[in-house]
């Protein structure tokens, strides 16, 4: 559907990802329209677990989206590399995905293509949901062969071509959780249709079949997410997040409530034989045409409510409206009943129907007039007698479509009385819309208005305005590194901040149960009611990993992949007449071999035919033989306070000596993977922000960076 390129934004001096629509889709006007509308909607989302969309545009016939560049690998690749994930790691990743989707759903955006391929795990362990909007625009109302990559995760209503909503994303997330735990999808087949039919017809196998020690609550959560009927699933992401968090505390608790359908008033499922009988009995409406009076009943949408045709002289009524219509024994079939009526009863009913039709027409007229009023009122063509904040009435109800348009003035920064006087002078009404904090406008002045300044409206239109309460009091996130989870939560709660906990990360230097870092980072400005995420250490990751093959890959891609696998990466370069510049020539750990997480690996990168050999260690410039004992750190640096992009210089200071380990465009969180001085267990890192001339504009100190002795 699209090709993705890595590019550099020279204006903001940062790397971005550019997704370009493939040529075969560019001539589809409907698809291009949805592509642009949905991409623009996704651009309004801002959440740490969603890949940000910066811009949408067209250059000639090329449609593109500029997105946040996330250094990492897809969840699909991560699952392949580990075989399957632990319950705690699966839960942590699922919570992040659900948090991102929760924010999207609250903004009215449904992803409709949740799958591990669309989840990116960044180098700092953050899960980010990608491809918002595009997935929805690319969806169709039928199963298509090109959907092979997504049909394994599609909800039954999507496979059937029916309506999909937030609960469809919950189903897809449930399938993704299943795959994280078991290493496989629950339904597979030789074709997309075969897989789709399994989603529609077959029960999902319990993941406990592949993970015998799976906690009962996790099993129940996944099975509830993947119910066939949307009404039996979680109804929103908030409910799912609550149960996922609860499962971490009470893995064998009894808090997952399986969804049930009430007995009365809801759609029941009909078999094909039942539907054929209903159509046969109701064929009177179409004479001898042979066409079924219920189009769509046999296109797979068996859950649709029945819409019966009008009664005919030669046919009975399928349902009655009183005790006299109760069917005799043998006349009931699947909720519908049939009974003959006399001619007199039919004439009485027809008279009743005429009265109902007349009342319906009158009701429709009233509704139409109401809608007309609301439309005119919404677009400012009339204004009503609302009360202002001080109890004064607005301008009286006036409808004037013939006077010359009036230019809306700029009310921002004016006091309420000044704004009202200005509007009255222009024969415009006004409406008080409430108050909100603002750092741009003084307390008591207008901070926003319902119509943009300079736009044209009819005379006597109503202009809404909102007053500023002044800037909100800001808070500073404290440094909570190495604090216990309880201590950190208590400190944030006392400041009026909400707390989110991430239990998915390991650390060689931070003890289990203590804080590794926070998001936003220490020193960041926040406000009461904001949420701060605590990343709690799970201790050292002692799992063995399988070394991937990075030969032939570009250096940056190879370093990212190896770092995500939990390896310390050293990079050397040498000339090569056969391998292109910047590509990996070789690696000292054999691909496919099993090593402990945290082991060191050295890759050799081609510098081209005439390149000069040098050594670069990870993101810095230190070197050491991989066969020696080294003192390494693998820390995460959050962005300095008030940092908004640009070049930085990162230095390390140990035993009085300070050396530069990185200088260039800043990308935070920054993974500090660097060798320190032998036998020195700690150090201090400084991040200097630089202007365009390389001059230092601010300095941020990160004290207490831990170094661990490793053998490579």
Residue 150: which residues within 8 A CB-CB, separation 6 or more?
113, 115
pLDDT of residue 207: 93
113: annotated active-site residue: yes
Provide the token pair at 464: 């809404």
3-state SS of 197-249 is: HHHHHCCCCCHHHCCCCCCHHHHHHHHHHCCCCHHHCCCCHHHHHHHHHHHHH
State the residue for tokens 């024994």: 329
Is the pLDDT at 484 greater than 90? The verdict is: yes
Mean pLDDT of the chain: 75
- 412 pLDDT above the threshold of 70: yes
Between 166 and 568, the higher pLDDT residue: 166
pLDDT over 50 (residue 396): no
Ranges 83-92, 112-121, 569-578: which has the least confidence: 569-578
- Give per-residue burial for 482-497: e unless 16+ CB within 10 Å, then b: bbebeebbebbeeeeb
The answer on pLDDT for 285 being more than 70 is: no
Would you say residue 211 has pLDDT above 50?
A: yes
pLDDT of residue 336: 41
What dihedral angle (degrees, nearest 10) is formed by the CA atoms of 530, 41, 167, 152? -120
Q: Is 245 exposed, middle or buried (0-12, 13-18, 19+ CB in 10 A)?
A: middle
| Mean pLDDT across 369-388 | 53
Tokens coding 553 = 């890959």
**CB 35, CB 28: distance < 8 Å:** no
Looking at the predicted structure, is the pLDDT value of residue 346 above 70? no
Whole-number Å distance between alpha carbons of 519 and 127: 14
Active-site option among 9, 28, 77, 113: 113
pTM over 0.85: no
CB-CB contact of 532 with 499 (8 Å): yes
- Min mean pLDDT across 227-236, 334-343, 433-442, 468-477 is at 334-343
Tokens of 46: 């801002």
**Which residues have a Cβ under 8 Å from the Cβ of 288 and sit 6 or more positions away?**
none
DSSP letters for 359-383: HHHHHHHHHHHHHHHHHHHHTTS--
pLDDT value for 235: 92
Average pLDDT for residues 134-144, to the nearest whole number? 39
Question: pLDDT confidence of 10, banded at 50, 70, 90?
Answer: confident
> DSSP code of 8?
E
Cα–Cα distance list, 453 to 267, 420, 435 (Å): 51, 15, 19
Question: b/e map of 680-697 (b: 16 or more CB within 10 Å)?
Answer: eeebebbbbbbeeeeeee
pLDDT digits (tens, 9 = 90+) for 597-638: 777 888 998 888 764 444 444 433 333 333 456 788 877 788
Alpha helix (H) ranges present in 71-132? 75-82, 87-106
Contact 320, 332 (CB under 8 A): no
Domains with residue ranges and CATH for the chain: 2-68 (3.30.200.20), 72-249 (1.10.510.10), 268-353 (no CATH), 379-464 (no CATH), 474-537 (3.30.10.20), 629-712 (2.60.40)
């Amino acid at each position: 559907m699209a090709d993705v390129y890595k590019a550099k934004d020279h204006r903001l001096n940062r790397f971005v990802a550019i997704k370009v629509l493939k040529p075969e889709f560019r001539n589809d006007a409907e698809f291009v329209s949805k592509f642009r509308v949905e991409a623009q909607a996704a651009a309004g989302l801002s959440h740490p677990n969603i890949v940000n969309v910066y811009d949408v545009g067209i250059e000639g016939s090329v449609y593109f989206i500029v997105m946040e560049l996330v250094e990492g690998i897809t969840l699909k690749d991560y699952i392949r590399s580990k075989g399957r994930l632990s319950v705690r790691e699966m839960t942590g990743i699922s919570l992040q995905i659900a948090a991102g989707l929760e924010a999207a759903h609250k903004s009215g955006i449904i992803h409709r293509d949740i799958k591990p391929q669309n989840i990116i795990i960044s180098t700092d362990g953050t899960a980010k949901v990608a491809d918002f909007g595009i997935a929805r625009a690319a969806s169709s109302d039928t199963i298509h062969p090109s959907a092979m990559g997504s049909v394994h995760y599609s909800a039954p209503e999507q496979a059937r071509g029916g309506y999909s909503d937030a609960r469809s994303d919950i189903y897809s997330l449930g399938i993704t959780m299943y795959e994280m735990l078991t290493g496989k999808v629950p339904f597979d087949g030789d074709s997309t249709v075969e897989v789709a039919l399994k989603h529609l017809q077959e029960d999902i196998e319990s993941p406990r079949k592949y993970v015998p020690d799976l906690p009962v609550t996790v099993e129940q959560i996944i099975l509830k997410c993947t119910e066939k009927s949307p009404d039996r699933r979680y109804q929103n992401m908030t409910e799912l997040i609550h149960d996922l968090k609860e499962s971490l505390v009470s893995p064998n608790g009894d808090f997952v409530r399986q969804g049930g359908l009430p007995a009365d008033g809801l759609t029941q499922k009909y078999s094909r034989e039942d539907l054929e009988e209903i159509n046969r009995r109701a064929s009177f409406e179409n004479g001898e045409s042979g066409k079924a009076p219920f189009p769509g009943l046999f296109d797979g949408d068996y859950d649709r409510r029945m819409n019966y045709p009008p009664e005919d002289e030669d046919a009975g009524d399928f349902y009655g409206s009183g005790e006299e219509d109760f069917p005799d024994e043998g006349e009931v079939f699947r909720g519908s009943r049939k009974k003959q009526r006399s001619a007199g009863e039919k004439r009485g009913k027809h008279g009743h129907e005429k009265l109902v039709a007349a009342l319906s027409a009158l009701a429709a007229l009233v509704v139409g007039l109401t809608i007309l009023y609301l439309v005119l009122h919404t677009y400012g063509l009339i204004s009503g007698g609302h009360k202002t904040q001080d109890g004064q009435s607005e301008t009286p109800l006036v409808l004037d479509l013939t006077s010359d348009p009036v230019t809306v003035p700029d009310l921002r920064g004016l006091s309420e009385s000044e704004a009202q006087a200005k509007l009255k002078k222009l024969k415009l009404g006004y409406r008080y819309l409430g108050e909100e904090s603002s750092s741009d406008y003084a307390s008591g002045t207008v901070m926003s208005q319902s119509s943009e300044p300079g736009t044209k409206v009819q005379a006597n239109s109503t202009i809404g305005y909102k007053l500023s309460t002044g800037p909100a009091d800001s808070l500073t996130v404290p440094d909570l590194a190495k604090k216990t989870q309880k201590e950190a939560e208590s400190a944030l709660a006392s400041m009026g901040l909400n707390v989110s906990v991430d239990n998915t990360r390991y650390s060689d230097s931070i003890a289990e149960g203590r804080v590794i870092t926070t998001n936003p980072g220490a020193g960041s400005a926040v406000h009461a009611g904001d949420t701060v995420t605590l990343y709690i250490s799970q201790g050292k990751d002692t799992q063995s990993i399988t070394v991937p093959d990075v030969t032939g890959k570009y250096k940056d891609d190879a370093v990212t992949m190896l770092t995500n696998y939990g390896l310390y990466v050293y990079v050397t370069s040498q000339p090569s007449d056969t391998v292109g510049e910047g590509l990996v020539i070789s690696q000292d750990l054999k691909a496919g071999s099993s090593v402990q997480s945290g082991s060191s690996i050295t890759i050799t990168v081609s510098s081209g035919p005439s390149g000069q050999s040098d050594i670069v260690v990870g993101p810095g410039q230190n070197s050491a033989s991989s066969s020696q004992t080294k003192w390494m750190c693998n820390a995460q640096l959050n962005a300095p306070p008030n940092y908004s992009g640009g070049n930085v210089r990162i230095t390390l200071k140990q035993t009085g000596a300070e050396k530069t380990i990185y200088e260039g465009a800043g990308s935070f969180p920054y993974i500090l993977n660097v060798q320190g001085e032998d036998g020195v267990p700690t150090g201090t890192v400084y991040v200097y922000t630089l202007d365009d001339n390389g001059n230092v504009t601010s300095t941020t100190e990160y004290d207490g960076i831990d170094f661990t002795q490793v053998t490579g």
